[in-house]
Structure 1
Amino acid sequence: MSVQTQPSSEDLRPHWLICAGALLAIVGYNLTCHFWASELQLGVDEAQRVLIRSVLYGLAILLFPVTKLLRHILLRLNQTMPGPKTAKQRYLSTIIVTQFLIELVSLFGFAMFFLGDGFNTLYIFSAMGVLGVFLHKPNTSEYLAIVAALSSENQHGPKYH
């Protein structure tokens, strides 16, 4: 395995593709709901939907800071954990995990629509999902920090014995 000395602009292409996939999934949920609304909706009782919607809103609100904290932890682990993975592979894992967690927020809207809620709930959760994709998009400076930490470790040996 070769150690990459100079990061290139192409390094983050798979990372951006993950974000594009997340956005396309959100568009797909919305289009599915628009084209097949009557076939999809179950028509669960309003009182049950209000309870489920409230719980899902709470989970969505909690997922944002939890995802930010997890991203911070993963970024630090990417810089310090030993192992054969490259900086690109490590950062891609971080992007996949954070985008997956944020994609759950969008899925909440799809689930609520499936249970019988209207487009308003779908749009709110979708907008939150799009915001989350934007907030957790690849960041070149984060990637370069991982590259620098790994190259420093390769030059000076592991930091912890």
Structure 2
Amino acid sequence: MFISESDNPLKADLKVHWILVWSTVISLIVMLAVCEFYGETWRQVMQEDQRILIRTLFYVLVIIGFPLNNLLRHILLRLNQTMPGEKTAKQRYLLTVMMSLLFAETIAILGVVMYLIGDDDNTLTIFAVLSGLAVFLYRPKVDEYQSIIDALRENKVTK
């Protein structure tokens, strides 16, 4: 998606944010490709019962992680709007996006770990899809960015 500054200046401000999103997507694709082409040489097959326990733990972490990441994102957005300081709205929102993308990347890494300890392609694919879902859900949004700009502008007016 090419963003034109003439379309919306706020979209143009989020260019770096979108570069991070696409970097995360590319890293996800690279992880999948590396597992596909080199995974067999690096795999250390663990006993089935141990893998099931670890896989279950990872699934629970991801299932709990989605609402926790949503809560963290909400808190970070509110802090972006209310914390004093000289950082611009763009800089503040970048941290929020980076934290959300870190969560998405972590999900993919859990899938790679499961693959490397002997789980099949299905588990790797499930974690990759969940990671892609996290990237989609927590992508930069113009309305969130606008709310930070408005709050910072309002805070300057009231001071």
Q: TM-score range by the shorter chain?
A: over 0.9
Contact 1:67 1:102 (C-alpha < 8 Å) held by counterparts: no
TM-score (norm 1): 0.91
Residue aligned with 1:36, SS: helix
The gaps in structure 2 that reach 5 residues or longer are 1-7
Residue in structure 1 matched with residue 101 of structure 2 by the alignment: 99
How many residues matched? 152
Distance 1:40 1:21 in 2: 25
Distance 2:10 2:57 in 1: 43
Distance 1:127 1:102 in 2: 10
1:15 aligns with 2:42: no
1:86 to 88, 101, 115: 88
Distance 1:96 1:59 in 2: 19
Distance 2:56 2:84 in 1: 42
Residue in structure 2 matched with residue 122 of structure 1 by the alignment: 124
Distance 1:12 1:68 in 2: 20
The gaps in structure 1 that reach 5 residues or longer are 1-5
Please list the CA deviations of residues 84-128 of structure 1 after superposition, one character each: whole Å capped at 9, or x if unmatched: 100000000000011101211111100000111111000000000
Residue in structure 2 matched with residue 108 of structure 1 by the alignment: 110
Residue aligned with 1:8, SS: helix
Distance 1:127 1:63 in 2: 15
Distance 2:10 2:65 in 1: 32
RMSD, aligned α-carbons:
1.2
Distance 1:51 1:66 in 2: 22
Contact 2:103 2:134 (C-alpha < 8 Å) held by counterparts: no
Contact 1:42 1:114 (C-alpha < 8 Å) held by counterparts: yes
1:133-144, aligned counterparts within 5 Å? Answer: 133-144=135-146
1:29 aligns with 2:31: yes
Residue in structure 1 matched with residue 5 of structure 2 by the alignment: none
Residue in structure 1 matched with residue 152 of structure 2 by the alignment: 150
The amino acid of 2:41's aligned partner reads E
Please list the CA deviations of residues 115-157 of structure 1 after superposition, one character each: whole Å capped at 9, or x if unmatched: 1111100000000000000000000000001001101111221
Identity of aligned pairs, percent? 41
Q: CA deviation at 1:7?
A: 4.9
1:64 aligns with 2:66: yes
